[in-house]
């Protein structure tokens, strides 16, 4: 019998085949209050981090067609922002494994369609980052924000992002990283291990879900190691920038 592969789920070691189900439970549980929790946990900072990602996507403001794929796109936050930042031919596909997160996004799209006067700009697709249900070389840009650390087989997800990018397409990954400013690191630990699960309990009724989120951040590879994983998957001209003292990092790579 083949030996079982193990991975981490927060600070726990779990069989690789079980991680996705556990992650799915987290996002089923928090979907309805997910956007509110982001604002509370980050004191609104996640908006600035996402703005940096959207600026880097640099969707055309002209009539030129531009197709974005937002992997682990959840409630569609990145996609809405990219559409708003670009011209009339910018479209976005949100792919996520969790139908509850997608349902929140669809609700939001219906509410906003009138304001945007474009209800065909965004579509929501249920799918796994490790096996994207899209053809090769289809998208101008692929983004993944606060999603990759939840995916059990990160190298597979990176290969898939590379596969669906057109030649010259841009991959951008926004993810929590490691704080390296003396003093801030202690404060950040105190805040994340104590306050965030307590906030999670108060707002979503689920402290455990937010304990997992905090722990999973600590297990995620350091920026240089993640850059090397991107290169391994075929991305070129890989760079990264750290923001807010290293709380998050934005990685960029190209299919060339
Ligand atoms: C922290 S949320 C990020 C949502 C959104 N990108 C944002 O920035 O607001 C992480 C998302 O990753 C999704 N996810 C986890 N594993 C996935 C997988 N294997 N494939 C696709 N999505 C996945 C979850 O369902 C969840 O919606």
Chain CA centroid to CA 256, Å: 23
Distance, in Å, from the CA atom of 105 to the CA atom of 24, rounded to the nearest integer, reads 16
Ligand 1 binding pocket mutation candidate from 68, 105, 129, 147 (most atoms within 8 A of CB):
147
Nearest to 93 by CA among 66, 53, 115, 54: 66
CB neighbour list of residue 105: distance below 8 Å, 6 or more residues apart:
73, 74, 75, 76, 79, 94, 96, 124
pLDDT at 94: 98
Q: What is the pLDDT of residues 182-193, one digit of tens each?
A: 898 889 888 988
Query: 142 forms bridges with which residues in the sheet?
Result: 69, 171
How confident is the model over 200-226, as pLDDT tens digits?
A: 899 888 899 899 999 999 889 999 999
- Rounded Cα gap, residues 198 and 217, in angstroms: 17
Over pLDDT 70: what percentage of the chain?
A: 96
Strand pairing partners for 113?
A: none
Reduced to 3 states (helix: H, G, I; strand: E, B; else coil), residue 243 is strand
Taking only the tens place, the pLDDT of each residue in 112-162 is: 765 565 668 999 999 999 999 999 999 999 999 999 999 999 999 999 999
Name the residue with the closest Cα to ligand 1, atom 14: 72
- Ligand 1: atom nearest CA of 74 is 27
Per-residue pLDDT, 48 = 95
Kindly state the helix (H) or strand (E) to which residue 122 belongs, with its residue range.
strand 122-126
130 close to ligand 1 (CB < 6 Angstrom): yes
**Mutate which of 150, 151, 153, 161 for ligand 1 pocket (most atoms within 8 A of beta carbon):** 150
Q: What does R_g of the chain's alpha carbons equal in angstroms?
A: 18
**Ligand 1 within 6 A of 97 CB?**
yes
Which string of DSSP letters, residue by residue, matches 178-235?
Answer: ---STTHHHHHHHIIIIIHHHHHHHHHS-HHHHHHHHHHHHHSPPHHHHHHHHHHTT-
User: Is there an atom of ligand 1 within 6 Å of 35 CB?
Assistant: no
Q: Is the CB of 129 under 6 A from ligand 1?
A: yes
């Amino acid at each position: 019998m083949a030996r079982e592969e193990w991975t981490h789920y927060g600070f726990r070691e779990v069989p690789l085949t079980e991680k996705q189900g556990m992650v799915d439970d987290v996002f089923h549980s928090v979907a309805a209050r997910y956007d509110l929790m982001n604002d509370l946990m980050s004191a609104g900072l996640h908006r600035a981090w996402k703005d940096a990602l959207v600026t880097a996507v640099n969707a055309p403001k002209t009539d030129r067609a531009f197709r974005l794929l937002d992997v682990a796109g959840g409630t569609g936050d990145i996609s809405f922002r990219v559409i708003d930042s670009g011209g009339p031919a910018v479209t976005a596909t949100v792919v996520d494994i969790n139908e509850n997160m997608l349902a929140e996004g669809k609700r939001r799209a219906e509410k906003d369609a009138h304001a945007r006067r474009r209800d065909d700009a965004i579509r929501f697709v249920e799918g796994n980052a490790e096996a994207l249900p899209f053809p090769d070389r289809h998208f101008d840009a692929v983004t993944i924000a606060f999603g990759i650390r939840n995916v059990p087989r990160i190298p597979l997800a990176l290969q898939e992002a590379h596969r669906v990018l057109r030649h010259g397409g841009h991959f951008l990954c926004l993810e929590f990283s490691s704080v390296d400013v003396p003093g801030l690191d202690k404060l950040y630990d105190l805040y994340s291990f104590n306050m965030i699960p307590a906030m999670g309990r108060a707002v979503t009724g689920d402290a455990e879900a937010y304990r997992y989120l905090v722990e999973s951040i600590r297990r995620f590879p350091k920026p240089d190691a993640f850059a090397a994983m991107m290169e391994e998957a075929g991305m070129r001209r890989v760079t990264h920038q750290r923001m807010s003292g290293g709380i998050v990092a934005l990685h960029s790579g190209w299919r060339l």
